[in-house]
Structures are given as C-alpha cells and as structure tokens.
Structure 1
Amino acid sequence: MDEKQKGATSCADIFIYRRRDEGTWDLHVIEFKKTIHTASLGKSRWQFIMGIYNARAVAAFLGMELENIYLYSGYRKDTLADMEHASLIALRASNNSSALKEIKQWNSGRCELILDGNSRFLALQKIQLDQDGEGSLSI
C-alpha cells in the first residue's frame, strides 16, 4: 500500500476477532466519532476499509480464516437523525446525491464499502455514547 496516498495510513479505531465454532473467525470493526454528519460518514467509510485491510493482513499472518465482517459506529451526537424534512428536500433540490446516499445508508443500518475493487454492503450497528463517551456493545 502506498503510504503517500492520502489516508493510506488511516484505520478504524478498534478491530476484534471472534472465533466461530467451525474454526473460522468473524471480524468486528469499530469506529468512533463525536458527531455523525455526512462528512464524518465518508471519513468513517475510508477508516473501515483501511481497518479491514489491516485486520485481514494480521489474520493472514496468524493463519486465521475470516468468515464475516461486522461494522460498528460509536457516536455521541447524530445530526442526520435530527435532520428535518426541509433539509432533506434542500439536499434533493441541490442534486446532492452523495449526501443523500450517505444518509440513506446510515438510516438503513448498512454500509457500502469498496473492498478489493468490489462493492460490498456490510451490516452497520450504531452505538450511542453518553456525554462521557461511554456506551455498550454485545458481540
């Protein structure tokens, strides 16, 4: 990977390997943001991709076969959920299809990532954090 490429050293905050009964492993990738908005979703998407590549490299080195990948986004404030109908109409009117796509994916609980040149939709679970940045997740 070219480290001079913008964001090539970006990575998700946490990745967890969980062993399955069959001897394969699931990968859980967690990214934290203070506030969710369309720009932070784009950055999270890139960090998810780079985190998955890094986690797969480690897994290959350790001889671990990955089965499933799950994404999690921890946040304190969600500005997209609070968007009023008028704001969404304004985005449509300005033909801002990329922002609308980000919002739709966020609300659907799915995240589209380009991995190895292919588009993949992965489940995205939201983790609401309190003011101190505390939250809970059961895997």
Structure 2
Amino acid sequence: MTQGINVVGLYVRDQDEALAFYVEKLGFLCHTDVRNGDYRWLTVQHPNQPSFQLGLFKPGPPVHDAATAQTLQEIVAKGAMPPLVLFVDNCRAAYERLSKCGVEFTQAPVDRYGTVDAGFRDPSGNGWKMIEVAAKQESQ
C-alpha cells in the first residue's frame, strides 16, 4: 500500500490575497482552483515539489460555522499556528528579494545551528521559517 502526504492546508482570511502572495511573491504555482457554491478548493505548489500541495482554505461554511470560522481567523492572525518551513539556497539573498516584494519579515536572517534562517508571515498571519540548505544536505 502506497501512502504519502499530498496536501497540507493553511487557513487564510482571503483566498485571492493568499493566492497572489504565494504565486507572485514566493514563486509558487497555482495547482487547483475550483468552486462549489461558496466553497473554494484552492491549492498551490512549489515548482520544485510537484507532488505536494499547500491548500489555502478560508474557514467557514460548509466546513465551519460562523463562530468557529471567526475563532480560527483570529488564531491565525495572531501567529499562533506552528510555522511552516521553506528551504532556500541563500537565505540572505532570498530575504532581500522578498523584502523588496513587500513580504513582512518577523526575523531578519540569523546564523545559527550551522545555517542561516529568517522568519516571515503571509498576509493572513501564518508564520514561516526560511532556512538556508547547506550544499551537503541537498546532495543527500
């Protein structure tokens, strides 16, 4: 039996805003964008990982009632969700490029643990760690 993770979902406050951020600023590709009434299934993928998708989902009906949706949006906006990790070849160069694109960084690049990392948020408040991958790790 083959198993694997195909989609991991993020809650976002506005799917169009999230799509623009992930595609235009981070360079992801839109994979799926389908609607069923008020429900929208929207996923993006990193161009180097075609078998993995990041779902950009808005809390609300039909999955959540209005009170639950509001609570989820508030939790995300506070940065309370665990950070996601984005690997890059050069953290400082990516930081400069993304800063110029308007990405909100919560932490400038820092040398630690034998690499360099920085932190940023998407427009909904979801936290990301951007970590420089050492050349020896890439070849393993």
Question: Normalized against structure 1, the TM-score is what?
Answer: 0.31
Higher helix share: 1
